[in-house]
Amino acid sequence: MSSAHTPLRTEIPESDKWNLTPLYTSDAGWEEDFSKLQKSYVGVTSFRGNLGESAAGLAKCLEFEKGIDLLVDQLNQYAALCVSGDSSNAEALSREARLDSLMVRVGEAFSFISPEIQEIPDGEFETFLADPALADWRIPLRKLRRRKLHTLSAAEERLLALGSSTVRGHSETFSQLTNVDMLFGTLKDGEGNDRELTQSSFSSFLQQRDPAVRKSAFHQFYKEFSEHRFTLASSLANSVRADVFYARARNYPSAREAALFADDVPTTIYENLISTVRGNLDALFRYFELRRRVLKLEEIHHYDTYVTMVGNVKTNVSWNEAVERVMASLTPLGTEYTDTLRHGLLDGRWCDRYENKGKRSGAFSYGTFTSPPYIMMNYKADVFSDIYTLAHEAGHSMHTWYARGAQLYQNYGYPIFLAEVASTFNEVLLTEHLLKTTDDRAMKAFILNRQIDDIRGTLYRQTMFAEFEREAHAAEEAGEALTLESFKGIYRKLLNDYFGPRFAIDSELELECLRIPHFYNAFYVYKYATGLSAAVALATQVLETGDATRYLGFLRSGGSRFPVETLREAGVDMSTPSPVQATLDLFSKRVAELEELIG
């Protein structure tokens, strides 16, 4: 029997790692810019007390802040990517920690800007906006002005800035505990080989055909989480408390409304999502029963919901093959889109491809105004869903690429609400392409199964997560205790509701709420669900009309408008339940098609 191990960072070929030289050719270059930031940011103090004197003076301050922001973006991106590549690298961790510490001081120094702008009388503020000196800043200034009721005095803003890293420290604790300290041991895969169980390989084990392997992986994985359950519950409780603290400090009615305010998203969209999904759970339960029958299981468990229901289908796809499949699916978007992306993924080394020891789990896209839109993957050839992950992250990266090419720096940054549209749009096109390019009955069933699981994971599952966040924060706001048992109680009720009466729920699954990284960035996950719904609508539009103009316009818009308005301009009205319901209807349709093929 062979024994597989997770390679060290130094054992990964350079060609498979991202090329960070567009940021810095060496660590020394980062140190030089770090010293520059240390010396230059204090220059902002020369503007203190003067922002209401003239439009030209305010413009100079904003341009100074922009220069510092650009420098911080580059420093932060390099530091973060180095730690993501190997979070056990002491030098990388030191750079990130020193930058975090410096950013507290930078935040303190710049904290007077927003309060001073808010203090400008309304009439004078409108006169300022009409001045040509502020022509490039009208959009961000109007967005800032919305926050007037939630902006504190300069002294209070300074205190919040000083305490930010301390109040949010639980997130770092969670990351280090789950990505570095926690060890899950080894496990025999379906071929009898010893493989290391990690945060990244867990998904691979759950896709093994042997149900005994899936069961063992699940229980072994959660045993480690159980060993640390009280620490994890404490970290999550402090995260919720921090959200409530900041919401109350800034005079928001609730933490949820504070989180939704920045995007100008009404809570009705959040509630519409939950109520619409809850009204369509029967199709989900029907799918679970189909899965149980096809896999010939006496009862279905959570660890049985990721393995494909279709056997004898090739799912070992190399990196280059995955890139080409993604490129072919995106041809409706034009050659500028596909040529740029292909170069970045194959030759430009935008992507860090494979897992190594200490590497952050999961995947992400991280681009700035002046750098390549980097992608982190933990690509595994035997995990077919990783092709979709690649398409997903590529959507984020090309969103950044188009936005920065069309917008000023201060307007290019798009909110997460829109980001999840661009990423899941690519997944929808990938599915349509794969379904149309195969006549193989088993492969077609395999792809249908994949899209069903994608909608289940993105719409149903993320909505359940959104309910958990809503309930956990409501408990804290009502003065209830946030403990391990209370978290498990909230989560167990949701598991019962979302998996149905015929689903076998293991008690360990109650601990899942302690291992979801997005819960440390609360009221984020609902955007996956709304993003998929908007993406399905936009992809349908592109495929039916053969015209990607409105969609590419959406990508180029960046953050120049609020997201609901941006989507409405692109042809999707998220203020109604219709896009969510249409995606749920697609789910039900795909389940029926799969039942016909293999049920």
pLDDT higher than 70, residue 381: yes
Determine the average pLDDT of the residues in 406-420. 94
For residue 70, is it within any domain? yes
For residue 136, is it within any domain? yes
pLDDT higher than 70, residue 2: no
For residue 61, is it within any domain? yes
Please report where in the chains the tokens 């420093």 appear, as a residue: 75
pLDDT higher than 90, residue 599: no
Distance between CA atoms of 304 and 292, rounded to whole angstroms?
8
Q: pLDDT tens digit string along 253-272?
A: 999 999 999 999 999 999 99
Average model confidence (pLDDT) across the chain = 94
For residue 321, is it within any domain? no
The pLDDT of residue 285 is 98
Q: Is 289 a catalytic residue?
A: no
588 burial (CB, 10 Å; 0-12 / 13-18 / 19+) is middle
CA 423-257-171 angle, to 5 degrees, is 65
**End-to-end Cα distance, the chain:** 36
pLDDT higher than 70, residue 239: yes
Q: How confident is the model at residue 93 (pLDDT cuts 50, 70, 90)?
A: very high
Residue of 393, 420, 427, 467 marked active site: 393
For residue 20, is it within any domain? yes
pLDDT higher than 80, residue 174: yes
Residue 271: which residues within 8 A CB-CB, separation 6 or more? Answer: none
Q: Which amino acid type is present at position 299?
A: E
What CATH number has the domain bearing residue 21?
1.20.140.70
What is the extent of the structural domain holding 53? Answer: 9-167
Q: pLDDT tens digit string along 495-531?
A: 999 999 999 999 999 999 999 999 998 998 999 999 9
Determine the average pLDDT of the residues in 146-157. 88
The pLDDT of residue 4 is 64
What's the per-residue H, E or C state across 518-557? HHHCCCCCHHHHHHHHHHHHHHHHHHHHCCCHHHHHHHHC
For residue 540, is it within any domain? no
For residue 57, is it within any domain? yes
Q: Which residue has the higher pLDDT, 301 or 388?
A: 301
Backbone phi, psi, residue 351, to 5°: -110, 135
Alpha carbon separation from 293 to 501, 570, 571, 592 (Å, rounded): 16, 42, 40, 15
Alpha carbon separation from 325 to 381, 399, 423, 438 (Å, rounded): 13, 19, 16, 13
Backbone phi, psi, residue 127, to 5°: -65, -40
Token pair of 112, please?
């007077």
Q: What percent of the chain has pLDDT over 90?
A: 84
Q: Which residue has the higher pLDDT, 193 or 71?
A: 71
pLDDT higher than 60, residue 3: no
For residue 46, is it within any domain? yes
Number of domains in the chain: 1
Q: pLDDT tens digit string along 56-91?
A: 999 999 999 999 999 999 999 999 999 999 998 999
Determine the average pLDDT of the residues in 10-24. 95
The candidate with the shortest Cα–Cα distance to 596, out of 290, 307, 282, 323, is: 290
pLDDT higher than 50, residue 444: yes
Alpha carbon separation from 454 to 12, 461, 560 (Å, rounded): 30, 10, 30
CA 548-553-555 angle, to 5 degrees, is 100
